[in-house]
Amino acid sequence: MKLDAAFLAFGVIRSALAGAVIPRGEPTPAKVEPIEPKYFRDLGSKRVKITYGPYDIPGSEDAATDGMVSFHDTNAMMPCHDCLITGFVSDLQFLDGKSANANKNMWLHHTGLMNLNRTDLACEHWPERIGVNGNERSPFDFTLKGTRKAGYYLRKGDEIFQTVDVMNLSHQQQQVILVIEWEFIEGTPAGFDIVVPVWLDIKGNCLNETTGIKPTDQVFTAKGGAGWTSKYSGDLILMVPHIHDGNTKQEVYLDGQLVCTNVPRYAETSDFITHVDEDGHGHDHGASEHIYHVSSITQCANAAKVVPGSRFTISSWYDLVQHVAMPDHHGKPEPIMAIEFLYLARPQEEAIKDILAMKPGDLQAFQDQVRSNTGQ
């Protein structure tokens, strides 16, 4: 199966077993388990673990999917409504609670969240892209370990589109779950800023630009073109990147000045190490060459003050000689990704006023664009 830009952009993949889109209405049932909050306990913060799935992933030799399946939910279970999401972190697990990772032939290829009731700041007719993650499983902490009063405002009635892309490199069908730990505070407590997300991408705000990178390129720098220009003032409190294997660093610029450098780390634990066999597939069979995968990537905090007219651009460095590219199931390198989520903290009253004025985003327009976006 050829992985197209739909998968690469936000996990919307054309597959015979891509998973039915769940009708909008009541949130899809999911297991919710309260756990101990980390920050702002004095303000009544809460933390829950929500289990999504289970998901059945065919083996890599399945003719219809090659072991790659994407699941879409147009009204995923959220931890709260009329609340501030102060942080979240995702993990792909087996049903016994053990991590499902590359060393076990399983990949959390992408998981993404969009608010269907709002419009995106970077591509203004699409739904708001809240965040995207890959097998690096980056944490999103808007409080910066409890040092900043900020959170993503989830209002009553907001419907969250969730996509979960899972890749199975073993020959056997496997069953997994997505576990997200959410931390939140009910209501909109005084003194908290509202975090608004911005998707910055080398392929453009609406994924409608090309990088000029050829599939045969091995060492290169990919640069975004138009970038994103802010209409608002606020504090750029958090920057969370997403890249693929082969990346060596990523940089974000504000009005031409460097404000953030992200550096990926490879194989910090054995979970992110696989072996390769003769057909180019990664399997943990203990023979042949090791492959080291991205296991984390540095983030940037308290990066800049933003004013109307502030312009952000992005560049990303890849070295596919130093680090093996992520392969598809035919052993061919996948197109690269280079995304930076900018989280802008805005004054609460002003931000909520703008949020309440937003119209729902056009999910179909988003899906149509990513399906047509097939190159580097």
> What pLDDT sits at residue 220?
94
pTM more than 0.85: yes
Q: Give the SS3 label for residue 225.
A: coil
The pLDDT, as a whole number, for residue 192 is 98
CA distance 247 to 225: 19
CA distance 228 to 240: 16
What is residue 140's predicted lDDT score, i.e. its pLDDT? 98
Q: Which of 167, 189, 159 is nearest to 74 (CA)?
A: 159
Q: Are 168 and 124 a contacting pair, CB within 8 Å? A: no
3-class DSSP state of 123: coil
pLDDT of residue 328: 64
The Cα 309–Cα 311 span in angstroms is 6
DSSP bridge partners of 186:
83
- Domain locations in the chain? 5-361
Copy the structure tokens of residue 153: 């405002």
- Along the 376 residues of the chain, how does pLDDT read in single tens digits? 333 333 333 433 323 223 334 445 678 899 999 999 999 999 999 999 999 999 999 998 999 998 999 999 999 999 999 999 999 999 999 999 999 999 999 999 999 999 999 999 999 999 999 999 999 999 999 999 999 999 999 999 999 999 999 999 899 999 999 999 999 999 999 999 999 999 999 999 898 888 888 888 999 999 988 899 999 999 999 999 999 999 999 999 999 999 999 999 999 999 999 876 544 444 433 344 788 999 999 999 999 999 999 999 999 999 999 998 876 655 566 778 999 999 999 999 999 999 999 999 998 988 888 777 655 5
Q: Could you give the angle at the alpha carbon of 185 between the alpha carbons of 130 and 231, nearest 5°?
A: 40
Rounded (5°) CA angle 293-48-355: 90
Q: Can you give the pLDDT at residue 279?
A: 43
